[in-house]
Amino acid sequence: DAPLLEVKNLETAFSIDGTYYNAVDNVSFRVKPRQIVGIVGESGCGKSVMSLSVMKLLPKGIGQIRNGEIIFDGIHLEKMTDSEINNIRGKDIAMIFQEPMTSLNPVFSIGFQLQEVLFNHMKISKKEARLKSIALLKSVGISRPEKIVDEYPHQLSGGMRQRVMIAIAIACQPKLLIADEPTTALDVTVQAQILELLKEIQEVNDMSVILITHDLGVVAEMCDEVIVMYAGKIAERTDVDSLFHNPKHPYTQLLMGAIPKMDEEVEKLSTIKGIVPSLKNMPKTGCKFAARCPKAMPDCLTVTPQLAENEAGHEVACLLYETSHPKQEVNA
Ligand code: SF4
Ligand code: MG
């Protein structure tokens, strides 16, 4: 299967006091048609910046793609102008964010906001747009869509608003949906319903999904493949079964340990000591996880581990594995 999205050697930098620092540092990955790819890591690990780069939604004058290729459906997005990318964004690639950071506008009705997306990308009459809006609301499990279509965001619950955002996202039948922490702010029951809905619409619409989350439980539930990110780099990438049965990177192993068990009151991710280094304080050499890694060795401070296949379909970037050692002339 040819990939729907291919990101090659992506480098995205942010300017702090006039100096650029890489928030995404030489990242490559692929998303196949109909695949759900999870991107997981703590906040500050670069996962949102990566998705904003793909959508070319980086804050102007601050964030910048400095290198790499983003090939979507055969088209180089990184070379596109703003107006060209506008035709793709919202149509072929859609995005949903964490509620309440969703971009529902409080002053317009739900129907108005749905129809706005339809008018932007389709030739469609007002009447058709209204009918389609109602059908879309119905398809995301909203009961009485004929009533909801005329209501305003504040009249809906957080879960309902997120359903509306999903309806807007799928309005033009995108090939790729990027969902950034779509359920993080919702309570557990609603979260499960929204994830269920995402999976259902992924199947019905034959979409690919990039699901960005800090929650490995969500990954286990939803994803085919998983990319674990740390400090702007990919630490590990494999299919969901290998990740859970055979996590190779110490960071992944710690994330696993940080999954709260049903009968224990463990705060999420709290068991990993320390924090993701800030862009300004990123170690210049060696493994960026070294300061927090329980398995760190002296070499980890000077040698940068390479992301490489360690077992078929399972890539890891850690010096515990021979495959991650930088390539040298081997004179056997
Ligand atoms: Fe830990 Fe070293 Fe592996 Fe980095 S390279 S994850 S510091 S063992
Ligand atoms: Mg984020």
Q: Is the CB of 192 under 6 A from ligand 1?
A: no
Q: Which atom of ligand 1 is nearest to the CA of 324?
A: 5
Classify residue 73: in a domain, yes or no.
yes
How far, in Å, is the centroid of ligand 2 from the Cα of 214? Answer: 8
Residue 41 lies in a domain: yes
Q: For ligand 1, pick from 251, 253, 287 the residue to mutate: most ligand atoms within 8 Å of CB.
A: 287
User: Is the same domain home to 198 and 85?
Assistant: yes
Q: Is residue 288 in some structural domain? A: no
* Together in a domain, 46 and 131: no
Judge if 162 and 66 occupy the same domain.
Answer: no
Cα distances (Å, whole numbers) of residue 26 to 42, 46, 68, 123, 252 = 19, 11, 8, 40, 20
* Overall number of domains in the chain: 2
43 shares its domain with 185: yes
Q: Is 284 within the bounds of a domain? A: no
Q: What is the CATH number of the domain that holds 210?
A: 3.40.50.300
Would 102 be classed as within a structural domain?
no
pTM, two decimal places = 0.91
> Which residue range(s) make up the domain with 159?
107-171
The residue among 124, 150, 171 that closes a domain is 171
Residue 297 lies in a domain: no
DSSP 298: G
User: Is the domain of 72 the same as that of 215?
Assistant: yes
Centroid of chain to Cα 249: 20
Q: Which of residues 171, 206, 221 is at a domain's end?
A: 171
For residue 312, how far is the Cα from the chain centroid?
24
Say if residues 3 and 14 touch (Cβ distance below 8 Å): no
Nearest alpha carbon to residue 233 among 271, 276, 204: 276
Look up residue 100 and give its amino acid.
Answer: P
263 shares a domain with 123: no
Residues 70, 43 share a domain: yes
Task: Please name the residue whose Cα sits nearest to atom 8 of ligand 1.
Answer: 296
User: Is the residue at 208 inside a domain?
Assistant: yes
Q: Tell whether 130 and 258 lie within a shared domain.
A: no
Distance CA(161)–CA(168), nearest Å, equals 11
> Does residue 182 sit in the same domain as residue 88?
yes
| 8 Å CB contact between 13 and 64 | yes
Q: Are residues 155 and 18 in the same domain?
A: no
247 Cβ inside 6 Å of ligand 1: no
Tell me which of 227, 256, 274 is where a domain ends.
274
- pLDDT at 271 (0 to 100): 59
Closest atom of ligand 1 relative to the 235 alpha carbon: 6
Same domain, 62 and 139: no
Q: How close is the Cα of 180 to the center of ligand 2, in Å? A: 7
Do 43 and 150 have their domain in common? no
Residue 329 counted as domain residue: no
pLDDT in tens, the chain (332 residues): 789 999 999 999 998 888 888 999 999 999 999 999 999 988 888 888 998 899 888 888 889 999 999 999 999 999 998 889 988 988 999 999 886 666 789 999 999 999 999 998 899 999 999 999 999 999 999 999 999 999 999 999 989 999 999 999 999 999 999 999 998 888 888 889 999 999 999 999 999 999 999 889 999 999 999 999 999 999 999 999 999 999 999 999 999 886 554 444 444 444 577 778 888 888 888 999 999 999 999 999 999 999 999 999 999 999 999 999 998 655 55
